[in-house]
Amino acid sequence: MGQGTFGQVFRCEDFQLQKQPGVDSKVAVKIIKNKKAYLRQAQAEVEILHKINQADSEDRHHLVHLIEHFYFNNHLCLVFELLSINLFELIKHNKFQGLSLVVIRVFLNQVCCGILIFWEIFIILFHSYWILFLYYTP
């Protein structure tokens, strides 16, 4: 599906999910390159994604959900729900004619809700790290 600095993303079929009725078994798997700095960043990403999953457990805020993560040949693999097309693909599909005000309002509403969730998660993470810092500071 794509690649970046940290690794590659593949469209996959999860045979465990396939056994569950009403659950889409198509997933996106992000495989992190086997480098120490990338691994640390990806582990932080997993922590944040777990907080997102907790904050949006009912999937009401249109945030990406981490299904699971695992290690394979010393690579961290993150399994996500497979999402639809991205914004650029939508605009391209619309022949670069722009989007209606109604669609833009829907997107902006989703972005603002996402920012509020991220802000709550940031405050929780910052508070946790601050307490750890105070606890371990001589």
Q: Are residues 34 and 62 in the same domain?
A: yes
Residue 115's contacts (CB-CB under 8 Å, 6 or more residues apart) are: none
Q: Are residues 36 and 7 in the same domain?
A: yes
Q: What is the pTM of this model?
A: 0.71
Q: What is the pLDDT of residues 34-82, one digit of tens each?
A: 888 888 888 988 988 888 888 888 888 778 889 999 999 989 999 998 8
Sign of CA dihedral 113, 115, 121, 123: negative
Token pair, residue 3, equals 């690649």
Token pair, residue 64, equals 């990406």
The count of structural domains within the chain is 2
Q: Are residues 54 and 10 in the same domain?
A: yes
Residue-range definition of the domain harbouring residue 107: 85-138
Asked whether the predicted pLDDT for residue 138 surpasses 60, the reply is no
CA distance linking residue 3 with residue 9, whole number of Å: 6
Q: Are residues 45 and 7 in the same domain?
A: yes
Task: Please measure the distance between the N-terminal and C-terminal CA atoms of the chain and give it in whole angstroms.
Answer: 48
Cα separation values, 34 from 40, 45, 68, 94, Å: 11, 15, 19, 39
Q: Are residues 77 and 18 in the same domain?
A: yes
Domain boundary among 83, 107, 129: 83
Q: What is the pLDDT of residues 84-121, one digit of tens each?
A: 888 888 889 889 998 899 989 998 998 888 888 878 77
